Amino acid sequence: MDSKLAQCPDWLVHHFTEAGGGLSFCKYMNLALNDPANGAYSTGKINIGIKGDFVTSPSLTPDFGELLSFQLIEWLDQLMASTKFSEKLVVIDIGPGEGDLTFDLIAALQKFSPSMLRRIQFILVEINEGMKLRQKKKLEQFPSSLIRWASLEELSRTSQVGVIIAHEILDALPVERVVYKNNKLYQQGVKLIEDSGNYFLDYFDLPLPNKLNHFIRDLSDYCKVNIPPDKAAEGWSTELHTNLNSWFEKISKSLDYGLVLVIDYALEAKRYYHVNRDLGSIVSYKNQCCTFNVLKDAGLCDITSHLCIESMQIYASKHNLFSKGIVRQGQALLALGLADILSSLAQADNVDLPTVLRRREALLRLVDPIALGDLRWQVFELNKNRNVYNFDIKSRLLYEP
């Protein structure tokens, strides 16, 4: 990780001063992204899309939502057939970004299965007011009865049956970072430095708290990896997703029966905690530029890290969410019909060639293994009452096209 000093914005100086000059990296990341008055997401300073700070699959092309809608329709059909649930089924979009995915899913359902829209409701879960305002603007053309916003806490107080989609949200959960020095692991912190009336941020090492030490031990045992790995170099560092347990607990309380689709950048534990991955995966994005210096421009850029696949699975299973399978995005989209769209573009007559080429390029970027194609799609099933819901839901995206 780049250890050059970064300018500390005035609003953040106050938080560090109140904390005695230093914070854990996890607390710093949470402030940089979610501080109500100045966080990158809470204020809506982050822009997602080709002309924004970074690109996601839904912001790149509406074809992504249309392809996903084919699986969503099949899932909802199966849920309708397997339950006598009297209320509307729900599609819950957690961390909806600009609202692109929900917009494209509704548009696809209007096109391919309009009758289903009368039996479902879309619920958007957004903790940041700045992003919520942009989502409402994006979705204002649809009937208000079709869409609502709610928190996970609100959803936990009612019974829902349906599908939860968490698209590139877990990679923005604040993480702890640890660093290996002098044959020991330390918790990485961020400290405030004052120099001639100017304030800067830099890293410093904290003793490893017992809670974090127990987390590492349990994770190592489950994943069958050493943290740090054997022969780790001085300064080897990595991320620990200590908020996954509470996140999956909230998810479990928000749904009685259905499926959870997590789409995010993720690695197997043996790759995630490999000796050669000595800087971890934490990066920040601003204006389509990526940097390892995540202390720079706090509150103005995205901060993100890859996930450990086994970490997700262990904490999901603790809350009755059981993995049905995991695939790369390229395989999932091919299983849902991407090849057919590409073929139709190649055979189209009397079309605007530049438009066709742009659409084709966007589709290929979705499956490019060095870009969006490396996203992992993981399906979890949640069933709190198998005496009522005794049905094996099939997922086309998990099988070879």
What is the DSSP track for 315-338? HHHTTTEEEEEEEEHHHHHHHTTH
Q: Please list the alpha-helical segments (H only) found in 61-99.
A: 62-82
Residue 343, pLDDT score: 87
Q: Is the pLDDT of residue 385 over 80?
A: no
pLDDT digits (tens, 9 = 90+) for 104-160: 999 999 999 999 999 999 999 998 888 999 999 999 999 999 999 999 999 988 878
Whether the pLDDT of residue 21 is over 60: the answer is yes
Angstrom distance (rounded) from CA 138 to CA 113: 22
**In the predicted model, what is the mean pLDDT of residues 188-199?**
94
301 falls within a domain: yes
Q: Which residue has the tokens 């390892």?
A: 292
Q: What is the average pLDDT across 94-110?
A: 96
The answer to whether residue 399 is domain-embedded is no
Instruction: Tell me if 93 sits within 8 A of 118, measured CB to CB.
Output: no
Instruction: Summarize the confidence of residues 13-19 as an average pLDDT.
Output: 95
Please choose, from the candidates 66, 69, 124, the residue with its C-alpha nearest in 3D space to the C-alpha of residue 98: 124
Could you tell me the CATH number of the domain that includes residue 364?
A: 3.40.50.12710
- CB contact set of 126 (below 8 Å; sequence gap of 6+): 95, 96, 132, 135, 149
Assigned domain for 132 exists = yes
Assigned domain for 48 exists = yes
Calculate the CA dihedral of residues 306, 26, 283, 220 and round it to 10 degrees: -40
Q: Does the residue 392 lie in any domain?
A: no
Q: Which residue reads 């060095």 in tokens?
A: 370
**Full-model pTM:** 0.93
With beta carbons less than 8 A apart as the criterion, state whether 24 and 187 touch.
Answer: yes
Do the Cβ atoms of 246 and 319 come closer than 8 Å? Answer: no
Number of domains in the chain: 1
Cα 312 to Cα 185: distance, rounded to the nearest angstrom: 23
**Could you say which DSSP state residue 208 is in?**
P
Of 98, 58, 48, 53, nearest to 372 (Cα)?
Answer: 58
Residue 1 lies in a domain: no
| Assigned domain for 397 exists | no
Distance, CA of 220 to CA of 215 (rounded, Å): 9
Binned at pLDDT 50, 70 and 90, residue 2 comes out as very low
Better-scored residue on pLDDT, 347 or 218: 218
Kindly report, residue by residue over 166-187, the tens digit of the pLDDT.
999 999 999 999 999 999 999 9
What is the model's pLDDT at position 1? 41
Of residues 259, 257, 260, 262, the one with CA closest to residue 160: 257
pLDDT tens-digit readout, 24-63: 999 999 999 999 999 999 888 888 888 888 899 999 999 9
**CB-CB contact of 67 with 377 (8 Å):** no
Residue-range definition of the domain harbouring residue 157: 6-382
Q: What percent of the chain has pLDDT over 70?
A: 95
pLDDT at 141: 96
Amino acid identity of 380?
A: F
With DSSP H G I counted as helix, E B as strand and the rest as coil, what are the percentages for the chain, rounded to 5?
A: 40, 25, 35
Q: What confidence tens digit (pLDDT) does each residue in 278-334 have?
A: 999 999 999 989 999 999 999 999 999 999 999 999 999 999 999 999 999 999 999
Dig out the tokens for 41 from the structure.
């997401």
User: Model confidence at 391, in pLDDT bands (50, 70, 90)?
Assistant: low
Closest to 71 in 3D by CA, of 316, 331, 337, 258 = 337
Count other C-beta atoms under 10 Å from residue 154's C-beta.
Answer: 13
Residue 389 lies in a domain: no
272 SS3 class: helix
